[in-house]
């Protein structure tokens, strides 16, 4: 069974905190054990050192150790701490047992004579015993030995030690419980937006482009949520454009096919004769289909980045004049006056000559189709720093300012005077946009001072 992200985060945080708590508990226990036992050992050594003068005084008084062998009470009296022996002498204050008493020091003391022979005390001497000489009149008369303290054995010591360990375990358990609660809260709080993002991502992958998530905070997750919403919005717009594009292409293809189908049926039924007029009508529709398919192919090449560009140094003014001359006859028939305003000195730019010719042809074609009879078309350019500004302006009819940003959308046509009745499927300006951007430039539509449309093109002189 695979664990969820929340469970993994909870387990990771909880395991980390529990490990830290256990490590701190083990360290505290080790420190306490060594420190406490060391403290008791120091107290016993001090007890040993303080008892030596007492035994020396007793020996000086009796002249031998026989008094200890014959009277055990003397041993117990001499083994008492100095303060308690004073209390026995007449002081009512009793401070209670010393630390050394609590560790059973009396049971681990041994008295040896000058020849290190056993006199009294603990008969089982440890090899690691601690001993102190008993000196009387400059002569060693015996040895007072103590078996080192090994572990807590008395009830009070055991109770104190167990209390310390119990407190450590209680603190550790409380810390582990608190860590579990904090880990659970963090897992739920931090991963809630992640889970929402995952759910929204699944919905988006399934095609629901209307999915949105609440950005919430302004942290990294909030920025991620806002980026997700932007992505979803872009996908939603792209999907709408794709559907509209498919619908428009289908409509554009059906229209000339329907005309051709009707013409052929009329000829087949004998309603219309197979003459030059009918053939010309069919050829016109074929040209429209060929133009539409060719434009779609150009756009598909641009989309996948395989549209070929062969850039060279070329004269921009000469190319504009050459392109405009190809439209003079059509402009004359339409009654449109052509104005070409070019600077006297030539301007050389680094670009693809054929693609720029296609660009200018599409733009002039657009003006020829949509400009009213008796209108004007103006073509001009000028150098601005390291760029060239090319302007193509025509006269009425104009375009609504709100629709101008959409003029470069594929298959978009203004639904007024600039419509399909004059020809065109709405792909020419989209292709122009691709060509301009491939050269590292930009194109913009605005109202023309002549009353129609003003198309401004910025191209780098040295190329993209």
pLDDT digits (tens, 9 = 90+) for 18-38: 787 778 777 777 776 667 677
158 pLDDT tier (thresholds 50, 70, 90): low
88 CB-side CA count, 13 A: 10
Q: What is the rounded distance in angstroms from the CA atom of residue 22 to the CA atom of residue 24?
A: 5
pLDDT of 382 = 92
Whether 449 and 393 have beta carbons less than 8 Å apart is answered as: yes
* Residues whose CB is less than 8 angstroms from the CB of residue 221 and which lie 6 or more positions away in sequence, other chains included: 190, 193, 194, 197
How would CATH label the architecture of 309-460? 2-Layer Sandwich (3.30)
Q: What is the rounded distance in angstroms from the CA atom of residue 120 to the CA atom of residue 293?
A: 121
Other beta carbons less than 10 A from residue 295's beta carbon: 21
Other beta carbons less than 10 A from residue 76's beta carbon: 10
Q: What is the rounded distance in angstroms from the CA atom of residue 352 to the CA atom of residue 309?
A: 6
> ω before 397 within 30° of 0 (cis)?
yes
pLDDT of 199 = 86
Q: Report the chain's C-alpha Rg in angstroms.
A: 53
pLDDT of 172 = 76
Kindly tell me if the per-residue pLDDT of 352 is higher than 50.
yes
β partners of residue 255: none
Domain boundaries, the chain: 5-146, 220-302, 309-460
pLDDT of 6 = 66
Q: What is the rounded distance in angstroms from the CA atom of residue 34 to the CA atom of residue 31?
A: 5
pLDDT digits (tens, 9 = 90+) for 281-290: 888 788 778 8
Closest CA to 25 of 160, 150, 174: 174
Task: Say which residue, 73 or 318, is predicted with more confidence.
Answer: 318
150 pLDDT tier (thresholds 50, 70, 90): low
pLDDT digits (tens, 9 = 90+) for 385-422: 889 999 999 998 888 888 888 888 776 766 544 444 44
Kindly tell me if the per-residue pLDDT of 214 is higher than 50.
yes
Q: What is the rounded distance in angstroms from the CA atom of residue 167 to the CA atom of residue 268?
A: 106
Q: What is the rounded distance in angstroms from the CA atom of residue 115 to the CA atom of residue 113?
A: 5
Kindly report the pTM of this predicted structure. Answer: 0.49
**Which residue bears the tokens 């050192």?**
49
**Which residue bears the tokens 């491939």?**
438
Instruction: Find the length of the chain.
Output: 464
DSSP summary character for residue 93: -
User: Across the chain, how many H-helices and E-strands are there?
Assistant: 12, 11
- What the block records as the tokens of 86 is 């004073």
CB-based burial of residue 202 (10 Å sphere; 0-12 exposed, 13-18 middle, 19+ buried)?
Answer: exposed
Closest CA to 82 of 95, 72, 73, 70: 95
Whether 314 and 351 have beta carbons less than 8 Å apart is answered as: yes
pLDDT digits (tens, 9 = 90+) for 128-142: 678 899 999 889 999
- Over residues 321-348, mean pLDDT: 90
Q: What DSSP element (H or E) covers 19? A: helix 5-62
Q: What is the rounded distance in angstroms from the CA atom of residue 232 to the CA atom of residue 205?
A: 10
First to last CA, the chain: 55
pLDDT of 366 = 86
pLDDT of 319 = 92
Query: What are the phi and psi torsion angles at 130 (to 5°)?
Result: -105, 130
Kindly tell me if the per-residue pLDDT of 107 is higher than 80.
no
pLDDT of 263 = 82
Kindly tell me if the per-residue pLDDT of 160 is higher than 70.
no
Other beta carbons less than 10 A from residue 131's beta carbon: 16
Query: What are the phi and psi torsion angles at 459 (to 5°)?
Result: -125, 140
- DSSP, collapsed to helix, strand or coil, labels residue 227 as helix
Q: What is the rounded distance in angstroms from the CA atom of residue 255 to the CA atom of residue 289?
A: 9
Other beta carbons less than 10 A from residue 163's beta carbon: 10
pLDDT digits (tens, 9 = 90+) for 357-371: 988 988 998 888 888
Whether 310 and 355 have beta carbons less than 8 Å apart is answered as: no
- Over residues 298-313, mean pLDDT: 77
Kindly give the pairing relationship between strand 109-113 and strand 451-460: unpaired
Q: What is the rounded distance in angstroms from the CA atom of residue 447 to the CA atom of residue 329?
A: 26
As a CATH number, domain 220-302 is 1.10.287.130
């Amino acid at each position: 069974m695979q664990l969820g992200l929340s469970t993994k985060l909870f387990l990771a945080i909880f395991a980390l905190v529990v490990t830290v708590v256990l490590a701190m508990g083990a360290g505290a226990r080790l420190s306490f054990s060594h420190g406490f036992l060391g403290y008791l050992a120091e107290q016993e050594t001090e007890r040993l050192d303080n008892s030596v003068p007492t035994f020396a005084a007793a020996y000086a008084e009796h002249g031998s150790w026989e008094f200890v062998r014959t009277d055990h009470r003397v041993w117990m009296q001499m083994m008492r701490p100095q303060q308690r022996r004073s209390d026995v002498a007449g002081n009512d204050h009793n401070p209670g047992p010393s630390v050394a008493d609590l560790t059973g020091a009396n049971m681990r003391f041994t008295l040896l004579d000058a020849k290190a022979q056993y006199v009294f005390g603990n008969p089982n001497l440890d090899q690691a015993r601690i001993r102190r000489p008993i000196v009387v009149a400059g002569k060693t008369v015996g040895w007072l030995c103590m078996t080192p303290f090994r572990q807590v054995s008395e009830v009070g010591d055991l109770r104190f030690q167990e209390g310390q360990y119990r407190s450590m375990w209680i603190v550790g358990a409380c810390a582990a419980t608190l860590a579990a609660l904090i880990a659970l809260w963090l897992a739920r709080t931090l991963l809630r937006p992640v889970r929402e993002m995952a759910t929204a991502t699944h919905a988006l992958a399934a095609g629901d482009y209307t999915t949105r998530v609440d950005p919430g905070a302004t942290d990294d997750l909030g920025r991620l949520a806002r980026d997700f919403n932007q992505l979803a919005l872009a996908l939603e717009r792209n999907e709408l454009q794709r559907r509209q594009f498919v619908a428009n292409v289908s409509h554009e293809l059906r229209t000339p096919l329907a005309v051709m189908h009707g013409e052929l049926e009329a000829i087949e039924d004998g309603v219309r004769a197979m003459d030059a007029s009918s053939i010309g009508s069919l050829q016109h529709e074929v040209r429209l289909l060929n133009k539409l398919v060719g434009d779609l192919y150009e756009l598909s090449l641009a989309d996948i980045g395989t549209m070929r560009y062969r850039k060279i140094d070329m004269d921009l003014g000469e190319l504009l004049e050459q392109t405009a001359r190809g439209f003079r006859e059509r402009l004359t028939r339409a009654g449109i006056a052509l104005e070409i305003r070019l600077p006297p000195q030539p301007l050389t730019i680094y670009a693809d000559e054929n693609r720029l010719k296609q660009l200018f042809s599409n733009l002039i074609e657009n003006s020829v189709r949509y400009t009213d009879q008796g209108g004007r078309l103006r073509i001009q350019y000028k150098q601005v720093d390291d760029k060239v500004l090319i302007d193509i302006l025509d006269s009425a009819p104009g375009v609504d300012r709100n629709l101008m940003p959409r003029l470069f959308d594929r298959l978009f046509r203004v639904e007024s005077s600039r419509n399909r009745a004059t020809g065109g499927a709405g792909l020419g300006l989209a292709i122009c946009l691709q060509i301009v951007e491939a050269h590292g430039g930009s194109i913009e539509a605005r109202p023309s001072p002549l009353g129609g449309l003003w198309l401004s093109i910025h191209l780098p002189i040295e190329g993209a």
